[in-house]
Amino acid sequence: MNPLFLSALVIGLGLICGSFLNAVIHRLPRGIGLALPRRSFCPSCGRSLPWIENIPVVSWLVLRGCCAGCKVKISGRYPLVELLTALSFLALWLSFPPSLAVAYMVFVALLIAGTFIDLEHMILPDSITVGGAVAGVVLSVFVAGLHPEAATWEERLRMSLFGAGVGFAVLFTVVELGKLAFGRKKFDLDPVETFALGGSNEEPHLKIGEEDWDLRDVFYRPSDTFELHTTEGEIWKLRTRGVIRGDVHTSYNEAKGWSGTIHAVVIPREAMGFGDVKFMLTLGAFLGWPGALFSIAAGSVIGAVAGIILLAVRRLGEAGRIPFGPYLAAGALVWVAIGPEMIRWYLTR
């Protein structure tokens, strides 16, 4: 078959896949099913889109980035994801044998979806991380090129599982060490502030001054503690399962309405989210342990450079949080493109 025709088919497949990934990126974090509603819809007014308004890239350009119904601007992320997916698929098709290229297309689609979800919502859903790991293990069994040093499918299965385990374990260790070193931050309040407990056991809330905290967004693990240092010399400890006030342990239901005045708070924090750790299951399953370790190292370097640039142009959010998932994805892409060659060059120079 004509190579140009095949390349055009791959670009078309990439555009269609990119359109599907846009649905995943929008719906998955919001708990909207991919099957219902079946048709694409405007994120602003909810109007179902006819096929003529759902042609990848073209429709966005013709409509000038606006919904034909409500005229609200549609994010440029939609054509960006479609073009990025199409160009990535073409590059993979031109660089690898067909079966390996298809396997990497699945991998890149997972990376793109995870990256844009993490950038917008600071989360990496299990359907991307754990589901991606399952896909990586299955494809490793059938596609020899994912682990070329393995002669049989059993060896490829073992290498995929081992790679997922190594990636998970290494980043989990980094998270735990980061928690020990930087897991708490104290803020002194001047002037002092009043506080009050509210909500319920299922949805605990803390109001400090005029600011309302949903404590579910604060606690990443059962051991996390939010400390309130009162002006009376007491330290109240808020945890996932209740409140500790001196020798009194009680639930949020029973502590509702408790209040006082504080001069300082100690807030728990993570070195990175646990979704990043689970993301390494996917990277390790597809790339094996060398690719997983390379992705962590390269992602750290890319993230550090990007962080410096963002700080320089003052585009960090108020909390100064940067999602690490996109940098892990970037490190994985570097491995797919030139990683093994870089390692061989370094070892033989």
Instruction: Please confirm whether the linkage preceding 37 is cis (ω < 30° from 0).
Output: yes
- Kindly state whether residues 329 and 225 are assigned to the same domain: no
| Containing structural domain, residue 293 | 96-180+273-349
Reported pTM: 0.81
SS3 of residue 321 by DSSP:
coil
Q: Tell me the pLDDT band of 346, cut-offs 50, 70 and 90.
A: confident
Query: Could you tell me the two tokens for 115?
Result: 């990256």
Alpha helices in 183-273 (DSSP H): 252-255
Distance CA 295, CA 101 (A): 19
pLDDT of residue 93: 96
Query: Could you tell me the two tokens for 147?
Result: 């682990």
Domain end: 268, 300, 328, which one?
A: 268
CATH of residue 347: 1.20.120
- Kindly state whether residues 283 and 173 are assigned to the same domain: yes
pLDDT of residue 318: 43
- Kindly state whether residues 168 and 288 are assigned to the same domain: yes
Alpha carbon 348 to its chain's center: 36
- Kindly state whether residues 82 and 222 are assigned to the same domain: no
Instruction: Please confirm whether the linkage preceding 222 is cis (ω < 30° from 0).
Output: no
Domain end: 229, 247, 268, which one?
A: 268
100-129 pLDDT tens trace: 999 999 999 999 999 999 998 888 999 999
SS3 of residue 36 by DSSP:
coil
Residue 25 has pLDDT above 90, yes or no: yes
Q: At which residue do the structure tokens 């990043």 appear?
A: 276
- The mean pLDDT value for 82-95 works out to 97
- Kindly state whether residues 84 and 218 are assigned to the same domain: no
- Kindly state whether residues 59 and 107 are assigned to the same domain: no
Q: Any idea what DSSP says for residue 66?
A: B
- Kindly state whether residues 118 and 162 are assigned to the same domain: yes
- Kindly state whether residues 34 and 68 are assigned to the same domain: yes
Domain end: 49, 74, 89, which one?
A: 89
- Kindly state whether residues 5 and 120 are assigned to the same domain: no
313-334 pLDDT tens trace: 765 544 456 789 999 999 999 9
pLDDT of residue 319: 45
- Kindly state whether residues 252 and 193 are assigned to the same domain: yes
212-265 pLDDT tens trace: 888 887 777 777 889 999 999 999 999 988 999 988 899 999 999 999 999 999
- The mean pLDDT value for 84-108 works out to 97
Q: How many domains does the chain have?
A: 3
Alpha helices in the chain (DSSP H): 3-27, 58-62, 77-95, 98-121, 126-142, 153-182, 252-255, 274-312, 325-348
- Kindly state whether residues 56 and 1 are assigned to the same domain: yes
Of 40 and 330, which is predicted with more confidence?
A: 330
CB 330 within 8 A of CB 294: no
* N-terminal to C-terminal alpha carbon distance within the chain: 41
- Kindly state whether residues 164 and 198 are assigned to the same domain: no
**Residue 86 neighbours by CB under 8 Å, 6+ apart:** 11, 12, 14, 15, 18, 56
Give, for 211, the enclosing helix (H) or strand (E): strand 211-214
From 110, 85, 128, 109, select the one nearest 273 (Cα to Cα): 128
pLDDT of residue 74: 83
